[in-house]
Amino acid sequence: MVSRRKRSNSSVGNKLNNLNDRVAQKQKDQQVTGTQTNAVTNDSIAPNAVNSESIADRAITSRQIGTGEVTSENLGALTEIVAGGSLTIDAGLDGHLRLDGTSYNLPYEGLNSGAGLYTMAFDPADNAIKILDATPTAHDGLRFDTTYTGGSTATGMLSWSDDDETIEMMLNSGVTLEVGQEHLLRVKNASASVAIPKFTAVGWSNPTAGILIVSPATGTGARDFIYSLIGITTQEIPADGYGFITQFGIIDGIKTDNVGWSMGSQIYLDPATTTGQLTATAPSAPSHRTPVCRVIKVDAADGKVLVRLDRGTRVGDIQDATITSALEGQTLLYNSSGVWVNSASPSQNFFINGAFDMWQRGTLLTGDANGQYGPDRWRITASSGGGSAGVSQQTDVPSGQILPYSALLTLSGTTTSGQVQQRIESSYAHQLAGQTVTFSIWARRGIDVGSATSTLTWSTAYPSGTDSWGSSTADQSGTFSASFTSTTWTRYSATFTVNALATRGYSIAIKRTLSAAQTATYTYLAGAQLEIGSIATPFRRNSPNIQAELAACQRYYQRIVAKQAYSLFASGVYNSTTAFYMPIHLPVELRTTPAVSYSGAFRTLTDTTETVSSIAIYTYSSTNPVSLAGVSSSSSDGNAAVLGANNDAAAYIEFDAEL
């Protein structure tokens, strides 16, 4: 705080002056007397002439010593005083003499016996040893005169502040420290030519040999500057000179009637400044947005602010957050280590039917399903050799997870490995090329029949041509579990960078490998997810709802089932006595012209009822509607007809546009 000393009177000074007045006359009569050989007496020396050379045996005997009569100038080095009469003198410390008050009497009125110890000290102003005041009793401690109203402004002066009701210390001619009510630092101006004005926000520069060097704070682009901001100047700091800054406390004697400033205004570092200027307008991120002080008195010259320096906190400096090379569009995600990290915003799940709840082909594939699709979009592969791989839909799911079903992969016979794989179309996969992605899936081991050990691994591949999976190249792989024995649901994950050639398409598989063939092994899988970013986030669908998820599956495969004994599928016309053509409109357009197959009994209804012997894709068919070419028993060329189930509710026609 800026000094505000007033009057020069002090109760201590008054007491000392009165004491000197009372003993002034008595000093003329005081003597040095003695009875010892070679002792100094009032007959042998004149007043004020006592010195170390005239005292033979270094002893003074006296009943009274007048204040100011014996001085350091004429006494020299005083090593011993022998008291006489009722005066007792104790040895002192640091050049002081101490009188035992229990024996002390006149001539000093007001210094009563029994009041404690009294202090004699050398006063350099008068070049004399003086009794200064009574020493407080031990339980009172050091007591300041609370009636004191001002005095010397000398640096180092310590006294009571009646304004702030605390002890204040003069730090220099312009600054006082209000003890317990503010925090100041002494700093050096980094500039050798420009002074830093009073009431300027400053930040530290490189310290030199323990000296805190500062310069005006920079508001522009201050996102990384906030931890250099250390205070506001309490006084002007000259070029290459020293001064004080306030981190907490009151700065007065400043202009606070600026435009927009009023009582209680929060004051911020001006984001447009490079010279530590302050503003009442709250800045926008990423500028320093935390107030540094608040107006408590509005005035053109004698205003006041309360400094409460708060540097604020960047997200990356929170103890459980780690920000590394942040990029636009990233967000904070919580990882398994208990740390918030920057990552790409949760993306879509690039797996379609990651919840394993779409099974258009049926919920149970038994026998050898190698190379076939089980749950929609998931292809089953297994090692050859006479064994088999099957897959079925289960309701056993991880506890606490919003997952409706799981897929159960069963290996038997001589089969020693099996996997489920999803091929991602190039139109989706190109978004993954070169990206850091995370593959996660829940898995657990069922009760196997056999004792062989097993591992759980993952692998990726890309096709030889765009969406052409006639041949492919293995890309990356890793191990989820080197000893896959747990029957408890566990979420496994792997983070890796997708190959740039994923623009052609991409596949990811999870695989269980056995050390030897088993009678039967069971692997449960649930909640498969592939997402951009380095964190396995909670499971979510590829699509916003289950109907959209079904439509996403139907882009690659659709099965139209009769469900009624004589359900109708399509209508068309005969172009000969046995061949007919019929377009069929599908709920979702297929990825490409499909392969068509059917199962069950079918018939056509024309002028007669004809039994259908085959259904195939018409050469000139498209993705929707799909045109069927069928053969039936005899009809008539040009007859209109409809295609329907022939007393077979399970009859179906399927359209396969899988990768």
Element (H, E) at 529: strand 520-532
Summarize pLDDT for 287-306 with one digit per residue, the tens: 777 899 999 999 999 999 99
* Residue 87: closest CA among 111, 105, 71: 105
Give Cβ neighbours of residue 250 (< 8 Å, ≥ 6 apart).
1, 178, 181, 182, 296, 304, 305, 306, 307
Give Cβ neighbours of residue 124 (< 8 Å, ≥ 6 apart).
none
* Amino acid 319: pLDDT: 81
Which residue pairs from 493-496 have beta carbons closer than 8 angstroms and sit at least 24 positions apart in sequence?
Answer: 493/438, 493/439, 493/440, 493/441, 493/536, 494/438, 494/439, 494/440, 494/458, 495/436, 495/437, 495/438, 495/439, 495/534, 496/436, 496/437, 496/439, 496/460
* Amino acid 165: pLDDT: 84
Name the pLDDT band for 386 (thresholds 50, 70, 90): low
Average pLDDT for the chain: 81
Whole-angstrom CA distances from 216 to 184, 190, 353 are 17, 9, 59
Residue 223 has pLDDT above 90, yes or no: no
| Longest distance between any two alpha carbons in the chain, whole Å | 167
- Percentage, residues of the chain above pLDDT 70: 75
d(CA 584, CA 581): 10
Summarize pLDDT for 155-178 with one digit per residue, the tens: 888 888 878 888 888 888 778 888
* Residue 55: closest CA among 70, 130, 68, 66: 70
Cα-to-chain-centroid distance, residue 276:
27
Which residue pairs from 124-133 have beta carbons closer than 8 angstroms and sit at least 24 positions apart in sequence?
Answer: 126/68, 127/71, 127/72, 127/73, 128/67, 128/68, 128/71, 128/72, 129/67, 129/68, 129/70, 129/71, 129/72, 129/97, 130/16, 130/67, 130/68, 131/19, 131/67, 131/99, 132/16, 133/12, 133/15, 133/16
DSSP 571: E
Element (H, E) at 9: none
> What is the value of pTM for the model shown?
0.61
d(CA 32, CA 82): 12
Average pLDDT over residues 424-432: 96
Strands (E), 173-326: 175-178, 183-189, 201-204, 213-216, 229-233, 242-254, 266-269, 278-279, 293-297, 303-308, 321-322
User: Which region among 125-134, 143-152, 421-430, 557-566 has the lowest average model confidence (pLDDT)?
Assistant: 125-134
Q: Which residue has the higher pLDDT, 371 or 356?
A: 356
User: Which region among 37-51, 409-423, 564-578, 628-642 has the lowest average model confidence (pLDDT)?
Assistant: 37-51
- Give residue for tokens 């029949």: 449
Report whether 172 contacts 155 (CB < 8 A).
Answer: yes
User: Which region among 55-64, 225-234, 601-610 has the lowest average model confidence (pLDDT)?
Assistant: 55-64
* Residue 126: closest CA among 39, 262, 23: 23
Highest-confidence segment of 11-15, 104-108, 279-283, 583-587: 583-587
Report whether 219 contacts 274 (CB < 8 A).
Answer: yes
Name the pLDDT band for 640 (thresholds 50, 70, 90): very high
Summarize pLDDT for 520-558 with one digit per residue, the tens: 999 999 999 999 988 898 899 999 899 999 999 999 999
DSSP 173-217: TTEEEETTT-EEEEEEES-SS-PBPSS-EEEE---BTTB-EEEEP
* Amino acid 576: pLDDT: 96
- The pair of structure tokens assigned to 645 is 């189930």
Report whether 440 contacts 458 (CB < 8 A).
Answer: no
Residue 265 has pLDDT above 60, yes or no: yes
Residue 7 has pLDDT above 70, yes or no: no
Strands (E), 415-519: 417-424, 436-445, 454-465, 468-481, 490-497, 506-514
Residue 93 has pLDDT above 60, yes or no: no
Give me the half-sphere count of Cα atoms (radius 13 Å) on the Cβ side of residue 487: 5
* Amino acid 315: pLDDT: 79
- Give residue for tokens 């009172």: 140
For residue 339, the one-letter residue type is V
* Amino acid 598: pLDDT: 98
Adjacent-strand bridge partners of 444 = 524
- Give residue for tokens 């069950």: 600
Summarize pLDDT for 23-76 with one digit per residue, the tens: 444 444 443 333 333 444 444 444 444 444 444 443 444 333 444 444 444 444
Burial 594-606 (b: 16+ CB within 10 A, else e): bebebeebbbbeb
* Amino acid 220: pLDDT: 65
Name the pLDDT band for 610 (thresholds 50, 70, 90): very high
Residue 18 has pLDDT above 80, yes or no: no
In the sheet that 89-90 helps form, which strands lie side by side, from edge to edge? 89-90, 97-100, 117-123, 128-134
Average pLDDT over residues 561-586: 97
Torsion-angle region of 563 (φ positive above 0: left; ψ -120 to 50: alpha; else: beta): left
Residue 140 has pLDDT above 60, yes or no: no
d(CA 58, CA 78): 8
Residue 502's φ and ψ, nearest 5 degrees, are: -65, -10
DSSP 34: -
Summarize pLDDT for 431-476 with one digit per residue, the tens: 999 999 999 999 999 999 999 999 999 999 999 999 999 999 999 9
d(CA 202, CA 283): 18
* Residue 341: closest CA among 333, 349, 330: 333
Name the pLDDT band for 574 (thresholds 50, 70, 90): very high
* Burial class of residue 35, CB neighbours in 10 A (0-12, 13-18, 19+): exposed
- Give residue for tokens 């024996």: 103
For the chain, give every domain's residue range: 31-134, 182-308, 315-344, 364-554, 557-656
Summarize pLDDT for 580-599 with one digit per residue, the tens: 999 999 999 999 999 999 99
For residue 606, the one-letter residue type is T
* Domain 364-554 coded CATH 1.10.260.40: no
* Amino acid 120: pLDDT: 52
Give Cβ neighbours of residue 497 (< 8 Å, ≥ 6 apart).
434, 435, 436, 437
Average pLDDT over residues 81-107: 42
Q: What share of the chain is helix, strand, coil (3-state, %, to 5)?
A: 5, 40, 55
